[in-house]
Amino acid sequence: MINYRIEKALNEQVNAELYSSYLYLSMSSYFESISFKGFANWMRAQAQEELSHAMKFYDYIMERGGKVSLEKIDAPQKEWASPLKVFEDTYKHEQKVTSLINALVDLAISEKDHATNNMLQWFVAEQVEEEANASEILDQLKMIGDEKRSLFMIDRELGQRVFKQSKD
């Protein structure tokens, strides 16, 4: 049986992951509205990935005999000044999620919940990848500045992303 403090914290993370999915879907919509279909595709795949993360937490809570408590999801931002601003926000958001995951690990350690700590290690590694992906695209956007051709090349590249459900 999962302890109350862990269950409550994991439920908060379910909500945070659902918000992440919602945020990236909003970013996808923004990119669609300015005819950057590749950027929109990348964000839509990111939204699906975040939803799958929420479900990993959901399933874990249920598996441990807990109860999932879904809460209100805040409305995300809808407009940005540029693709660069979107990826600045994306990178900041991923850093925030990393801090949330790290706090969960700290809680699992303090509660001596080894099973939860073990489960969370997948998310620790995932956040390294999430931050690296956002940072790489952000760096590319900073390098190209206002160069439109390069922006279209990045758009084309990001259009190749396909969401793959993780097997872990």
Amino acid 165: pLDDT: 77
As a whole number of angstroms, the longest Cα–Cα distance in the chain is 56
Q: What is the mean pLDDT of residues 24-44?
A: 98
**Would you call 54 exposed, middle or buried from its count of C-beta atoms within 10 A (0-12, 13-18, 19+)?**
buried
Amino acid 164: pLDDT: 83
45 pLDDT more than 70: yes
Amino acid 1: pLDDT: 86
Percentage of the residues of the chain whose pLDDT score is greater than 70: 99
Q: Tell me the pLDDT tens digit for each residue of 108-135.
A: 999 999 999 999 999 999 999 999 999 9
Mean pLDDT across the chain: 96
Confidence tier at 168 by pLDDT (50, 70, 90): low
Q: Output the pTM of the full model.
A: 0.95
Amino acid 82: pLDDT: 96
CA 81 to chain centre: 21
Q: What is the mean pLDDT of residues 89-102?
A: 98
The class (CATH top level) of 4-158 is: mainly alpha
Q: Tell me the pLDDT tens digit for each residue of 50-94.
A: 999 999 999 999 999 999 999 999 999 999 999 999 999 999 999
**Would you call 67 exposed, middle or buried from its count of C-beta atoms within 10 A (0-12, 13-18, 19+)?**
exposed
Query: Using the 8-state DSSP alphabet, how is residue 145 labeled?
Result: T
Amino acid 79: pLDDT: 97
Confidence tier at 163 by pLDDT (50, 70, 90): confident
**Helical segments of the chain, H only:** 4-33, 37-63, 83-110, 114-144, 148-158
